[in-house]
Structure 1
């Protein structure tokens, strides 16, 4: 959990990372209440953005009493909840399928499908948390 925060010195990049980070926090919080949005991936992305842009916000997220456990479980190698795995993979494949339908270029479709396959394998290889949140 005690990761070294590598704040980016470029102000434009820091602002972009902070914006994406807070957007992900908002989507993660909405995902707690709305079963269509996965909470864990959004909070992990927020943590990744904050670790590169703001030590204060990274620590706030990781140490938060409600949001922190989702991030800490992954960072400490305990795993990802089954619900998060299912939602992540399902939403990713839905968005990739829609993108493949909309983009007629073969090389783009091949890249998207390959990326989705590799990310799915990565998610499935992660430990699954035994007790749901």
Structure 2
């Protein structure tokens, strides 16, 4: 996002809540670098979205961070998502949805989960694909 696009929330309680969620997502994203079960990029993107509404300083810190910034910069600049990240995200999402559908016998819940997974899959597949580094 361009610097001019950053608009912090006017409500102090909203900013604090967004900061808390943002830092939790940074923590989960960092853990995801080392744990293959936990996706890194979605958590860092969510952290950036929280920081953009709560703290310009933390948003710029995250996006310009030498180790965390590259995970999200290409996406934020509209350049796309690496092929490996797409495959990883789609695979983990569908495995977790399949497991959830197995555990939850309610037809309406299964329909909701499957519909959500299809929509997220379409969104991910629609994004530009960057070659793996």
TM class by shorter-chain length?
Answer: 0.7 to 0.9
SS of the counterpart of 2:72?
A: helix
Q: Mean Cα displacement is larger for which, 54-63 or 24-33?
A: 24-33
Distance in 1, Cα, partners of 2:109 & 2:34: 34
| RMSD of aligned residue pairs (Cα, Å) | 1.8
Deviations 1:40-87 (A, max 9, x none): 111111111111111111111111122112221001122112222122
Q: Are the aligned partners of 2:83 and 2:129 in contact in 1 as well (CA < 8 Å)?
A: yes
Uncovered stretches (5+) of structure 2, i.e. residues with no partner? none
Distance in 1 separating the partners of 2:39 and 2:10: 31
Q: Does 1:88 align with 2:93?
A: no
Name the TM-score, length of structure 1 as normaliser.
Answer: 0.85
TM-score, with normalisation over the residues of structure 2? Answer: 0.85
Aligned equivalent of 2:102:
101
Greater shift after overlay, 29-38 or 44-53?
A: 29-38
Pair 1:71 & 2:37 matched: no
Q: 1:33 aligns to what?
A: 34
